[in-house]
Amino acid sequence: MSFQPIVVGSGLVGWQFLQSTQARQKEVFNASPLLKRDTDYFAENIGSVKSAEDLVSDRRMLRVALGAFGLQDDIDSKFFIRKILEEGTTERSALANKLADERYKAFSKAFGFGNPRGPGTSAPGFAEDIVAKFRQQSFEVAVGESDQSLRLALNFERGLTEINESGSSENAQWFRLMGTPPMRTVLEKALNLPKTFGQLDIDVQKQVFQDKAQARFGTDKISEMLEPDVMKKIVQTYLLQEQIGLFQATSSGQIAITLLQTARR
């Protein structure tokens, strides 16, 4: 039986509790027998994996590989995942480069099956890096079983750090953020952008994101958004907007029920 992270309350209250207990909860979570068996198996065997076919044919290893990038829902899409891995990311025509979701590109690039120099599965530190990512993602998923908004907040903190450490240009970092659905959800909600916003031209979207971020959070730079005060403001604003949305939805539902009950009298 795996350890289920404890979430007390929702919104800002739940976030504050999670922040204060996260280190200890992660320690207990990572020691869960099922999680430990999967990560130990991956670490012991990934070095012998030389092709995309090797990986997708081993469901146990594939679960860790996909989970490390938040792609665990694709576990049964073996042909699709194999194609993502085999084509790599070096060619513009590669499938991973055509998909809007940047996580597929990160996944394919990390394993390197489409790299002329060969895969990185046996490289020093590779297994440890994937296992660390899988543990973090698994913890976030477990938190999401209690509160999805807290899961997305955790994901945003981690994901923004990874984007900043990529060494890419500012524009590339913004496009990667925009192309990562969980992170985009947080920022769209924090900036109170409408659902139709995603229908705009991609360059226009980026400019709007930057302008809105500058106006609300005082910066349009990814690196500066990682500053503790700025990150705190982004997450708190997102969680407050989520709570407001839930309250409005609940209130509307209650009003509708009351009207129906009144009409039947």
Q: Domain for residue 94, yes or no?
A: yes
Domain of 107, CATH number, reads: 1.10.3700.10
Which residues span the domain enclosing 97?
A: 11-146
pLDDT digits (tens, 9 = 90+) for 109-132: 999 998 878 798 999 999 999 999
Name the more confident of 66 and 255: 66
Same domain, 92 and 27: yes
Q: Domain for residue 36, yes or no?
A: yes
Range 12-15, long-range pairs (CB < 8 A, 24+ positions): 12/236, 12/239, 12/240, 12/243, 14/147, 14/150, 15/150, 15/153, 15/235, 15/236, 15/239
Q: The tokens 């694709």 sit on which residue?
A: 74
pLDDT, mean of residues 11-23: 94
Residue 15's CB is within 10 A of a number of other CB atoms, namely 22
Q: Domain for residue 157, yes or no?
A: no
Predicted confidence (pLDDT) at residue 249 exceeds the cutoff of 80:
no
Residue 263's pLDDT is: 44
Average pLDDT of the chain? 91
Same domain, 116 and 187: no
Same domain, 142 and 179: no
Same domain, 129 and 50: yes
pLDDT band per the 50, 70, 90 thresholds, residue 261? low
Q: Domain for residue 1, yes or no?
A: no
pLDDT band per the 50, 70, 90 thresholds, residue 106? very high
Residues 6+ apart with CB under 8 A from 173: 163, 164, 166, 222
Q: CA-to-CA distance for 55 and 81, rounded, in angstroms?
A: 10
Q: Domain for residue 124, yes or no?
A: yes
Residue where a domain terminates, one of 127, 146, 165: 146
Predicted confidence (pLDDT) at residue 174 exceeds the cutoff of 60:
yes
Q: CA-to-CA distance for 138 and 72, rounded, in angstroms?
A: 10
Same domain, 85 and 126: yes
Q: Domain for residue 125, yes or no?
A: yes
Q: Domain for residue 167, yes or no?
A: no
Same domain, 34 and 95: yes
In total, the chain counts a number of residues equal to 265
Q: Domain for residue 120, yes or no?
A: yes
pLDDT digits (tens, 9 = 90+) for 187-203: 999 999 998 898 999 99
Same domain, 32 and 127: yes
Residue where a domain terminates, one of 84, 111, 146: 146
Q: Is the CB of residue 12 less than 8 Å from the CB of residue 236?
A: yes
pLDDT, mean of residues 140-157: 96
Same domain, 181 and 240: yes
Name the more confident of 116 and 26: 26
Q: Report the Cα 114 to chain-centroid distance in Å.
A: 24
Same domain, 89 and 186: no
pLDDT, mean of residues 14-31: 94
The number of domains in the chain is: 2
Residue 252's pLDDT is: 54
Same domain, 88 and 137: yes
Residue where a domain terminates, one of 111, 146, 181: 146
Same domain, 135 and 219: no
Same domain, 103 and 206: no
Say what percent of the chain tops pLDDT 70.
93
Which ranges constitute the DSSP H helices of 5-100? 11-30, 33-45, 52-56, 59-67, 78-87, 95-98
Q: Model's pTM, two decimal places?
A: 0.85
